[in-house]
Chain A
Amino acid sequence: MSSPEVLIELDHVGLKYPLKRPLHGQRVHWALQDVSLTIYRGQTLGVIGSNGAGKSTLMKLLAGITQEDRGTVRRKKDLRISILNLGLGFEGTLTGRENAILSGMLFGLHRRTIEKRINNIIEFSGLGDFIDQPYYTYSSGMGARLGFAVAMEIDPDILLLDEVLGVGDANFAEKSSKALLEKINSDMTVVLISHDPHTIRRLATTATWIDKGVTQCFGNVKEVSARYEHFTRTGEKPVAT
């Protein structure tokens, strides 16, 4: 069996943020200190860690929004990598339809592609004729439904998920989490961030645990989540493997 294609590889990566005021005598904060991981095509990588572990920083780095300050990031060329943002670039005065098209283009789709998928979006969102009303007249639930419907049509090469599983009311929450689960379980490459080991165990095919910007372990989902749970109970870190 040939090994799956590597899409992104992080090798001892660190990333720092400048600080306005010095902290511990330093004007920078290393949000990621030493992170190594590999993302293969088709897998679902679960990233687990407590608050402040650097999970969101890692997302922005993977999405190409920020850049590493040390270590190396190897990325396959021309990948479309998107964080699942509900309502990316939505403007109050545009209608739901116009916002869906603008948002889809910001996500990286060609205008014609998103226009072809607009009917799917309208149908999934369940907004009906409201789609041609200006966005500022929408309730927050309607906005979330439209945002989610757009996000389901973007089909990036790598989908980055930051604990968004279900949105809207009970009905739509079920529909949306079902749609998302289908994406995760399909051959789409997904990176899923969570501080809940159950979510990771249920959905991920590989996992990594990050604490204070340092990779603690990488690999088998059960093993990684067990170690993380052990850590949250006892505060003991495993011996580096």
Chain B
Amino acid sequence: MHPPSSFNSRYLAPFYRYFHIVLYKTYANLKGENEKTYLGCVWWIVEPLMNTAVFYFIFVYILKNRGPDFVVFLYVGMVVYGWFSNGLNAAANSIVSHAALMQQIWLPKALFPFISVSNISWKFCFSLVAILPLLWWQHAPPTLAYFALPVLIAIQYFVVIALGMPLAGIIPYFQDGRTVLSTLLSVFMWLSGVFYGREHVSAHLQPLFYANPAAALIEGYRAILLQGTWPDWRVLFLSLIVPACSLLLGLFILHKIDRQVTKRPI
């Protein structure tokens, strides 16, 4: 038996504890949602399906500019963007929504975006994976490129947290930001290629288009699920530049406000 090293007790043990706190809180939130509604987790699929139906109707029957494959194309875009935008909203509000807990015990503030985003991520993974059998039956069987799917999911989880981290620190001081953020996120849906593919973006705008991680991710999922090809790793990698900067900024802000934000009435 080795005595526990100080690295172990200072870094690994807290990490392990925080990991389990996030797991437990996520489990509690999901359990809560399922128990309070009649349809429970069925909603996780029905909701994006309803949204897809509305937009499908608009694009195919009213605007008449999309083919029949559009429904799967649209569903993937809706689910991925839904995760992105709901996750970002939840992360931005994560400090505010845990204000009561923060008054009772000290926890590192960076933990709260993880708690809030994990819950939402699980729901969207569910709605993405649940549709796969239908996809195989109607569209194309799985290919080797499916191995990239968990990677994409992991990337998205961290992208949402990374982008939400600075917002989580700012929102307690500027609560109007919640409205600004949800408005921006609905605008960004139109800029993220939920309704159209890369081919509709002119070449000189493409770098800008892909600077938005949501666009790059949606593109990646569609490559795997619709075309059965590997996602464009270069594009994905470049789209991580903004989230990486955001993560550093977020950790800095949350460190600064760590024991100050609890003094504000929220």
Cα–Cα, bound, A18→B102 (Å):
17
Q: Bound complex: CA of A106 vs CA of B17, how far in Å?
A: 9
The smallest C-beta distance from A112 to any residue of chain B, in angstroms, reads: 9
Residues of B within 8 A of A107 (CB): 105
Q: Closest chain A residue to B98 by CB distance?
A: A89
How many of A's residues come within 8 Å of B, CB to CB?
32
- Asked if A65 meets B262 with Cβ closer than 8 Å, knowing A93-B31, A106-B107, the reply is yes
Contact check: which of A64, A92, A98 meets B106 at CB < 8 Å? A64
Give CA–CA (A17, B264) in the complex, Å: 7
**Inter-subunit contact A20/B104 (CB<8 Å):** no
Q: B10 contacts the other chain (Cβ, under 8 Å)? A: yes
B229 CB, nearest partner CB in chain A, Å: 42
B16 beta carbon closer than 8 Å to chain A: yes
Q: Check B21–A98 contact: CB distance below 8 A.
A: no
Given A93-B35, A111-B16: A67 and B260 interface contact (C-beta under 8 Å): yes
5 contacts between A and B (CB under 8 A): A88-B104, A89-B104, A92-B32, A102-B21, A105-B21
Interface residues of A in 40-96 (CB under 8 A from B): 60, 63-67, 78, 82-83, 85, 88-89, 91-94
Given contacts A93-B28, A93-B32, A101-B24, contact A60 B103 (CB under 8 A): yes
Q: Bound complex: CA of A154 vs CA of B106, how far in Å?
A: 15
Residue from the list A67, A88, A91, A105 in contact with B28, Cβ < 8 A: A91
CA distance in complex: A97, B191 (Å):
47
The residue in chain A whose Cβ has the minimal distance to the Cβ of B260 is: A67
A168 within 8 A of B: no
Q: How far is the CA of A88 from the CA of B106 in the complex (A)?
A: 12
Would you call B28 and A102 a contact (CB within 8 A)?
Answer: yes
Query: Are B31 and A89 in contact (CB-based, < 8 A)?
Result: no
A65-B105 contact given A92-B32, A93-B28, A98-B28, CB 8 Å threshold = yes
**Complex-state Cα separation, A66 to B257, whole angstroms:** 10
In the bound complex, do residue B259 and residue A66 qualify as a contact, i.e. CB atoms below 8 Å apart? yes
